[in-house]
Every structure is written in structure tokens, then in C-alpha cells.
Structure 1
């Protein structure tokens, strides 16, 4: 029974050492994430417990922000996911961080990185299936 605990410890993170999917070399000059919509959609399909029935989906084109002391592109998404009992919460905002033009991680508390962004409908997210 120690194995699941050990594995979960590997996946845990705190604010000082966030989980990242890419090798962040710390390069300050970052390329624009050309396929950001497709990458965000693919990520959210696995991130959400139930990707079917998302409502009020919107996405903002990536903008450069300083995150963790480094200049990065951030795409903001806002949506209401279906809860396990079938209801919906108010739309929540999340920031998707890109490193070297590829999706790196999601930032749950996105108030600061998403301040002032312009959202557009994200119909692909609302049409997602399992």
C-alpha cells in the first residue's frame, strides 16, 4: 500500500516547485504558441472529470505575462464544467502557461495572470466528447 502514496508524493507540488510538463530552460524570449487552442482543448479533455456538457466556454488569445519571475505566454480560459451530480458552478477562470510554444501547466488561481484579457467564445470546448 506504500506504492500509491509514494507515487502521489511525486505528483504533488507546492508553490515553490510547480509541476511542469516541459523542461523550462528559463529562456526569456518565448515563441507564440501557434496551436494553443488545440493544445488547451486536448489538455482539458483529460483534466476535466467529465468533459461533456461544458457551458459558457471562452478563451483569450495568449498574452505575455511574468510568471514566477519569467516572461511566458498565458492563454486564459473560462468555463462551467458539469458537476458529478449534474449541476453547474459559476464559470471559473484558469490560466494555461506555455513554455517554448508548448502547453506547460494550468494555473488554477488565474485572477492576476488573466487580468484584462479579452475573451472570445470557445465553442470547441462546449462540443467536447469523452
Structure 2
């Protein structure tokens, strides 16, 4: 592989990964592409994928308390069905204090984590949370 081709791979790989993981925002998502067509498979690695999403989502993942995660369920998003797993947690603030518990929803596309959103009212009503100690043990 030539030097120019290696540089292209190095530049494209982070962009491809950013399209797969990250927080809710203006960036492209697999949810919006044709790759998300058809029935969605259950996200077998939803705990690990949720941790990866939260590592990118949280400014400081250290010191999270009271973390809970719900099993993924199918929810309609933009007219299509996607698996959504709700989580709640209390993050440590920059000054070291703890404030209110937060609720977020991890959205999965083709069995993989795609994004985290804070629009949880429609997705997380009736969610049954189980302890999620892996989130509480995260380090930088």
C-alpha cells in the first residue's frame, strides 16, 4: 500500500468510527442511512456497546454512581424500529459534587451502538433498570 493510500485509511477510519458511535447531535448516523433498512437484530453486546457510547458521551466517566441499565426494546424512531436501551446514572460534576440522576437512551442500529440521546420520555417510559456496575467502574 502506497504512502498516500495509508494516509487516506488513517483519515477515513476515525470518521467511520465517529459515524457508528457518539452522542445525539448534528453528525450523521447509521439510523438515517440505507444500512439500517429491514428488521433490526437484537444487540447481543448491548452492555459493552453502551459503555463505549457513554465513554464518548461523558466528559468525565470517573465517579458515576447509581447506574442502572434496562434491556433493549424495539421503539419507533423516524418511522422505523430500532432497539433502545435506557440507562440512568448520577455523574460526578466538575467540582466533585453530585446532583440529580440523569436518564439517557442508547440507540442500536444493526445490533451495534449508534448514539446516546437525552430525549428519553418517549423511549424510557416503564423501563425496568438493573444495576450497571460497569458504568460506575469506568476510568478515563
TM-score (norm 2): 0.76
Using a 3 Å threshold, how does the CA distance of structure 1 residues 114 and 12 change in structure 2: closer, same or farther? Answer: closer
- Work out the CA distance in 2 between the residues paired with 1:24 and 1:63: 21
Q: Point out the structure with the larger helix share.
A: 2
Counterpart for residue 37 of structure 1: 47
- Work out the CA distance in 1 between the residues paired with 2:66 and 2:25: 30
CA contact (8 A) 2:86 2:124 kept: yes
* Structure 1 residue 24 displacement after superposition: 3.4
CA contact (8 A) 1:93 1:111 kept: no
Structure 1 runs (4+) greater than 3 angstroms displaced:
21-24
Stretches of structure 2 that go unaligned for 5 or more consecutive residues are 1-23
CA contact (8 A) 1:61 1:75 kept: yes
TM-score (norm 1): 0.81
* CA deviation vs aligned residue, 1:41-91 (integer Å, no higher than 9, x gap): 122122211111001100001000101111110011100111111111211
**Matched residue of 2:33: which SS?**
coil
Greater gyration radius: 2
* Structure 1 residue 19 displacement after superposition: 3.9
Q: Aligned pair count?
A: 116
* Structure 1 residue 22 displacement after superposition: 6.2
